[in-house]
Amino acid sequence: MNELPQQIDVLIIGAGAAGLMCAAVAGQRGRSVLVLDHANKVGKKILMSGGGRCNFTNLYTSPENFYSENPHFCKSALARYTQWDFIALVEKHGIPYHEKTLGQLFCDNKSKDIVDLLLAECRAAKAQVRTRCSIESVKPLGNGYRVETSLGPVQCQSLVIATGGLSIPTMGATGFGYDIARQFGLRLVPTRAALVPFTQHKRQLERQQELPGSAIPVTATCGAGSFHEQMLFTHRGLSGPAVLQISSYWREGEPVSFDLAPDLDLAEWLVQQRQEKPEAHLHTVLAGFWSKKLTQHFLSEKGIESRPLKQFSPSELAEIGMALQTWQLVPAGTEGYRTAEVTLGGVDTDAISSRTMECKTQPGLYFIGEVLDVTGWLGGYNFQWAWSSAHAAGEVV
Ligand code: FDA
């Protein structure tokens, strides 16, 4: 194994989406670049993303798709390296892709296509990438940084922290980036698991033990968030895109509201059904668009007894419709960082230049990607943030 170079222009810690992108951009400007990662291979989260097909960006990416204490911070980087720029790169590498839904672009083949793209760009830029290297300490010098590693010391002019968030520790996630931020006196926005399934209390799970695997479209609402997507019942609680999305808005103890028939005015529809099929039972009619199992569950949760529709008054049916469109529950919790796709919070963006990602109080120190307090919705937005923030830093480091 070659020794590490002792002196380098740009040292990037973290060979994930943001780190590799930044290395390629900086290297293409003629900077000497070294990327170090403690994992045994690069881009592990890219490889597992999008169910193995990497949802690498979203056609409709805009700053509104991100949460941060400072919602303006992401604007500059997203505007200067857009989804169209990354799509052009994907096309340059001949990677086949498709839109799945809601502007989400996935590889036709495997996520590995995206890792190969990044590594090819790094090779073309002569950026070196080394894995299985742990970082022992970071010390500021007059003009740059000295980093002690398990493979020896490295001095650099620019140090880029691209170590991501806390989700999926088994994939190599650590709080390293937050430790470096603390070392240099930067504030951290409290972190929380996000894009994560909800868990439910044992008694609730017992009541829905027939349901794991069932999925329906819903509108999930909590606080300022509202998402019309699929909800999936699981053995631990609730998942599916609508639940993952709303988990980013949820706080412990708060109720989440689900419209179980988001494409219909259920009150009006039930009254109409009463006119057309007065003899039909409520559960039979509802089982027309939910399954029988789900219908029974929803009716029993609301304490509604099924009878022929003619035995309900129109106002009773309207009330039932309303109740099923405002189904509320308080999740017990979330599955946490073990399965969360991302980490909310992170390095406070007040301390960072939104144009360059450089720390305002610590020249030559940069933070990019998920380690920052910028978190995207589900749907390719988090990778787009990694590409855009990495590109912004790569142009100046
Ligand atoms: P990333 O986590 O990619 O990279 C950080 C790197 O730093 C890792 O290689 C890690 O080993 C290394 N590292 C950490 N600590 C270190 C230390 N102490 N020393 C050295 N190296 C260290 N997003 C999206 O847009 N579309 C999608 O389809 C998905 N799908 C998805 C599925 C799953 C299961 C997860 C967990 C996440 C997603 N995401 C996603 C989110 C996306 O993967 C994530 O936001 C980006 O990978 C963040 O890129 P970063 O480069 O910031 O961190």
CATH number, residue 308: 2.40.30.10
On whether residue 2 sits in a domain, the answer given is no
On whether residue 1 sits in a domain, the answer given is no
φ/ψ of 5, rounded to 5, equals -65, 140
The ligand 1 atom at the shortest distance from the C-alpha of residue 370 is 52
For residues 268 and 134, state if they share a domain. no
Residuewise pLDDT in 10s, the chain (397 residues): 568 999 999 999 999 999 999 999 999 999 999 999 999 999 999 999 999 999 999 999 999 999 999 999 999 999 999 999 999 999 999 999 999 999 999 999 999 999 999 999 999 999 999 999 999 999 999 899 999 999 999 999 999 999 999 999 988 899 999 999 999 999 999 999 999 999 999 999 999 999 999 999 999 999 999 999 999 999 999 999 999 999 999 999 999 999 999 999 999 999 999 999 999 999 999 998 899 999 999 999 999 999 999 999 999 999 999 999 999 999 999 999 999 999 999 999 999 999 999 999 999 999 999 999 999 999 999 999 999 999 999 999 9
CB 19 less than 6 A from any atom of ligand 1: yes
Domains identified in the chain, total number: 2
> CA 391, CA 57: separation in Å to the nearest integer?
15
Structural contact between residues 370 and 346, judged by C-beta atoms closer than 8 angstroms: yes
On whether residue 382 sits in a domain, the answer given is yes
Domain boundary among 334, 352, 372: 334
> CA 367, CA 389: separation in Å to the nearest integer?
9
CB 380 less than 6 A from any atom of ligand 1: yes
On whether residue 296 sits in a domain, the answer given is yes
CB 90 less than 6 A from any atom of ligand 1: no
For residues 105 and 138, state if they share a domain. yes
For residues 172 and 295, state if they share a domain. no
Identify the pLDDT of residue 1: 56
Q: Which of 329, 328, 333, 394 is nearest to 366 (CA)?
A: 394
Domain that holds residue 311: 197-334
On whether residue 175 sits in a domain, the answer given is yes
> CA 376, CA 3: separation in Å to the nearest integer?
38
For residues 357 and 330, state if they share a domain. no
For residues 185 and 46, state if they share a domain. yes
Identify the pLDDT of residue 182: 98
Beta bridge partners of 257: 221, 328
Strand blocks (E) in 162-246: 188-194, 198-199, 215-222, 225-233, 237-239
Domain boundary among 318, 334, 350: 334
Pairing of strands 152-161, 7-13: parallel
For residues 262 and 297, state if they share a domain. yes
For residues 201 and 188, state if they share a domain. no
On whether residue 202 sits in a domain, the answer given is yes
Torsional class of 380: left (φ above 0), alpha (ψ -120 to 50), beta (otherwise): left
On whether residue 170 sits in a domain, the answer given is yes
Identify the pLDDT of residue 166: 97
Both tokens assigned to 20: 């590799």
φ/ψ of 377, rounded to 5, equals -65, 170
CB 189 less than 6 A from any atom of ligand 1: no
Structural contact between residues 347 and 177, judged by C-beta atoms closer than 8 angstroms: yes
Torsional class of 44: left (φ above 0), alpha (ψ -120 to 50), beta (otherwise): alpha
Mutate to test the pocket of ligand 1, among 45, 129, 179, 375 (most ligand atoms within 8 A of CB): 45
Q: Which of 200, 219, 217, 218 is nearest to 208 (CA)?
A: 200
On whether residue 269 sits in a domain, the answer given is yes
- Give, using CA atoms, the residue closest to atom 4 of ligand 1: 16
For residues 110 and 143, state if they share a domain. yes
Distance in Å from the first CA to the final CA of the chain: 27
For residues 59 and 120, state if they share a domain. yes
φ/ψ of 365, rounded to 5, equals -105, 125
For residues 21 and 34, state if they share a domain. yes
Rounded to the nearest whole angstrom, what is the distance from the C-alpha of residue 13 to the centroid of ligand 1? 13
Domain boundary among 334, 350, 366: 334
Q: Which of 357, 338, 387, 14 is nearest to 166 (CA)?
A: 338
Identify the pLDDT of residue 257: 97
For residues 268 and 145, state if they share a domain. no
Rounded to the nearest whole angstrom, what is the distance from the C-alpha of residue 46 to the centroid of ligand 1? 7
Q: Which of 217, 187, 200, 108 is nearest to 347 (CA)?
A: 187
Identify the pLDDT of residue 338: 95
State the complex-level ipTM: 0.99
Q: From residue 123, how far is each of 35, 78, 264, 283 by CA, in Å?
A: 12, 25, 53, 62
For residues 279 and 350, state if they share a domain. no
